[in-house]
Amino acid sequence: MKTNIYLFIIALMIGATSCNNGSSSGDLNTSVDSLMNESANANNAKLSEEVIDQIIETFPSPLELTSILSTSGAEFNSDYLNSSDNMDRFESSAQKAFNLGVYGADLGYTNFFEKPTQALGILSAVRDLSNDLKVGQFFDFGTMKRLAENKNNLDSLMYISTRGFQEMDDYLTSNGRGEISLLMLYGGWLEGLYLASESCRNTPEVSQELIDQIGEQKIVVDNLLLLIEAYKNSPSITPISQDLESLKSIYDKVTISFTYAEPTRKVVNGMLVLEDNSRSEIKVEPAVLVEIMKTVSLIRNKKVMLS
């Protein structure tokens, strides 16, 4: 995810500004803050479908953000999950799409912590919401249910789930239902960030990797703000813009620096490959981390109608 996001930001800037400034050899230290500001200014015009697709491709899947939690020292907590009891509250397509993304992230969370009982309940919510949105054909729920009943099969369940969400997103965007896809994407991302931040809040010794992952979402916030420009006149998208502006005001205090280094050529299994030597540094002050966790919790709980 990280490499794709950086490459996209740089490519977007180059294409939008049409500059051809030469660069000297050696390390190049570039602030992602600066890149995003210039990129946003250069893209006030309507985004093309190609650019929208490129932005979407940089986002983590509903399962990806939760993958680090099982190895970060965080413990599973079922209280973090979006209760299936909330299902009756979701009336509009927008609410259903958002919460389908939320349950997708929750499914990943239960998968990584090998909790088949909770996974079955979430799978039922995913089935009902996807059927309501007429995209249930991308999930083989019979097979997924059998896999969820045994924790030894959760890797296979995760693979099938991820593939189903990807195929569903492709279908929605190619059939003029990009708004539904965006809401689902936003729900999955926000829930993944919520699970990460709540785990961070309640873990005695938080891993730096987890903190960095939370800080790295600054890039996603900026990319989401670019993406919603294509749907800025939609009543269902307006609340997302308000959420993201609240998060952006906090994430502006996070610093992400990207240091470019020439790749190294090496032979792996008889093939010549390039090893990426570029590095990124993410700085999140403790007080800023607390702000992020508080704001994410407030936004997420409101969205799933828990508060």
The residue whose two tokens read 């609240």 is 246
| pLDDT reading at 32 higher than 70 | no
HSE (side-chain half, CA atoms, 13 Å) at 26: 2
**More confident call, 196 vs 174:** 196
| 126 pLDDT more than 90 | no
265 three-class SS: strand
pLDDT of 250: 97
Q: What is the DSSP string of 107-154?
A: HHHHHHTT-HHHHHHHHHHHHHHHHHTT-GGG--HHHHHHHHTSGGGH
Kindly report whether the global pTM for this prediction surpasses the value 0.85: no
SS3 content of the chain, % helix, strand, coil (to 5): 65, 10, 25
- Identity of the amino acid at 25: S
Residue 189: strand, helix, or coil = helix
Q: What is the pLDDT of residue 130?
A: 84
At residue 52, the pLDDT reads 63
Least confident of 27-36, 52-61, 144-153, 256-265: 27-36
How confident is the model at residue 55, as a pLDDT? 66
pLDDT of 103 > 80? The answer is yes
Structure confidence by residue, pLDDT tens digits, 39-60: 444 444 455 566 666 666 666 5
pLDDT band at 285 (very low <50, low <70, confident <90, very high): very high
pLDDT score of 262: 87
- How high is the pLDDT of residue 143? 66
Burial 188-212 (b: 16+ CB within 10 A, else e): bbbbbbbbbbbbbeeeeebbeebbb
What pLDDT was estimated at residue 114?
81
Look at residue 89 in the predicted model and tell me its pLDDT: 85
Q: Is the dihedral of CA 260, 266, 268, 273 positive or negative?
A: positive
- Helices and strands in the chain, H and E counts: 11, 5
Q: Which residue has the tokens 């051809």?
A: 20
Classify 141 in phi/psi space as left (phi over 0), alpha (psi -120 to 50) or beta: alpha
* Residue 10, pLDDT score: 26
What is the Cα–Cα distance from 213 to 211, expressed in whole angstroms? 5
Lowest mean pLDDT of 4-18, 150-164, 198-212, 213-227, name the range.
4-18
* pLDDT, greater one: 254 or 169: 254
140-177 burial, b for 16+ CB within 10 Å, e for fewer?
ebeebeebbeebebbebbbebbbebbeebbeebbeeeb
Main-chain dihedrals φ then ψ at residue 213, nearest 5 degrees: -65, -40
pLDDT higher than 50, residue 227: yes
8 Å CB contact between 189 and 58:
no
Average pLDDT value for residue range 127-144: 76
What is the structure's pLDDT at 229?
80
Residue with tokens 């093939």: 271
pLDDT at res. 160: 65
Does the structure show a pLDDT above 60 at 19? no
The pLDDT score that the predictor gives to residue 181 is 80
Residue carrying structure tokens 């940089």: 58
pLDDT at 152: 60
Per-chain mean pLDDT for the chain = 75
Question: How many other C-beta atoms are found inside a 10 Å radius of the C-beta of residue 23?
Answer: 7
